[in-house]
Amino acid sequence: MKDPGIFAEFGDDGVVYSSRKTIIDVKPIEVRWHGRAGQGIRTVALLLGHVALAEGKWTQAFPQFGPERRGAAVEGFTRIADVPLTIHGGIVSPDVVVVIDDSLLTSASVLNGLRQDTTLIANVPYSAKELRNVHPVFGALNRVAAVDATAISLDTIKRNMPNTPMLGAVARVTGTAKLETLKSVLTEHLPERVRRRAELLEANLNAVERGYNEVQVDEEPTSPPEVIGEYIKGATLPSWEELSLGGIIPQPATSLSYKTGSWRSELRPVWDAEKCTNCYMCFIHCPDNAILIKDGKVIGIDYEYCKGCGICAAVCPPKVKAITMHPEREAAPAKQ
């Protein structure tokens, strides 16, 4: 542990100075996590903080929640430094942006504040080179990294919990910790319900090791850095001073543009036309009006607005079972 009596402040140049204005370190590494409620964003932001502490660093870690419901977008923040931290707000312009749910990749909150030297680390089932093609800004970043954390977690933990392999990937790409440190921190700090089951703990240790070993990095930008400024301008979220008083919605009737299907993270309903008896139970109960009807008959499910709650499958008569829930990655067509 460092001497807590050190007084440190940030200069405009991003360098940390001591009270005598001598340079004592560069600015902290700031990591911003993006995922959905239920994917362990808070847990993984805190675990990275524990990892940094175990490596003798100073750290902060905390989440930021939006709506209180499973599937809603969640952010997490982790700061890591060699000196005591003097700032305490959220992270606006991250050194590392980690995207655990690929449906959020091109969202404004992910793009917000990216710089040419921001490293993007994403959970995707394709290569780091292909990740550059997902958005023009990704092509201009110095470093992008990809790992199929969902597949790793399904393989090891037998559940879609990609946060553990992503922790391994982030530690490797940022150089925050050695694999042994990661494993000992997980053994000590994973939630108790995981630690008390030896096979589940072992599965998590395997998952973190695979994330650490399987992450791929690409350091060959495919577009010029100017592209970033062009796109980031539009993606920058308003500051609290720019928001309307009392949260007034300045432009009503925008619900069509809120695609609730983008919250779907694990299972999607699949409808079987052969079995459907057109009883309308699914249509009546679907909270997002995502059951499509034409000429008085059910014709399918609108995946742009289906958030995967499973209510339609639960109310479809058991003898009919015309709607069943399937893992997102197994269902065709690909996630919308």
- Does 323 interact with ligand SF4 (rule: CB under 6 A)? yes
Contact with ligand SF4 (CB under 6 A) among 201, 292, 311, 331? 311
- Count interface residues toward ligand SF4 (CB under 6 A): 27
Which residue spans within the chain are E strands per DSSP? 8-10, 15-18, 23-26, 29-36, 58-65, 73-81, 96-99, 119-123, 143-147, 216-218, 267-271, 291-294, 297-301, 323-327
Piece of the chain touching ligand SF4 by CB under 6 A; list 172-180, 212-220, 250-258, 309-317: 309-317
Could you tell me the two tokens for 325? 């829930």
Binding map of ligand SF4 across residues 288-307, x = CB under 6 A, - = no contact: x-xx------x--x----xx
- Does 110 interact with ligand SF4 (rule: CB under 6 A)? no
Select 45 or 276, whichever has its Cβ closest to ligand SF4: 276
Q: How far is the CB of 289 from ligand SF4 (least distance, A)?
A: 8
Looking at residue 150, its amino acid is: T
* Residue-wise burial string across 195-220, b where 16 or more C-beta atoms lie within 10 A, e elsewhere: eeeeebbebbbbbbbbbbebbbebee
Binding map of ligand SF4 across residues 253-292, x = CB under 6 A, - = no contact: ----------------x-x----xxxxxxx---x-x-xx-
Select 6 or 279, whichever has its Cβ closest to ligand SF4: 279
Q: Phi/psi of residue 181, each to 5°?
A: -65, -45
- Does 71 interact with ligand SF4 (rule: CB under 6 A)? no
Closest-CA residue to 122 (of 141, 143, 105, 139): 105
Answer for the pair 207, 164: CB distance below 8 angstroms, yes or no: yes
Select 133 or 278, whichever has its Cβ closest to ligand SF4: 278
- Does 310 interact with ligand SF4 (rule: CB under 6 A)? yes
Closest-CA residue to 310 (of 259, 256, 264, 258): 264
The kind and range of the H/E element at 183 are helix 179-189
Distance CA 328, CA 150 (A): 11
- Does 127 interact with ligand SF4 (rule: CB under 6 A)? no
Residues 13-42 contacting ligand SF4, CB under 6 A? none
Per CB under 6 A, residues contacting ligand SF4 are 269, 271, 276-282, 286, 288, 290-291, 298, 301, 306-312, 315-316, 320, 322-323
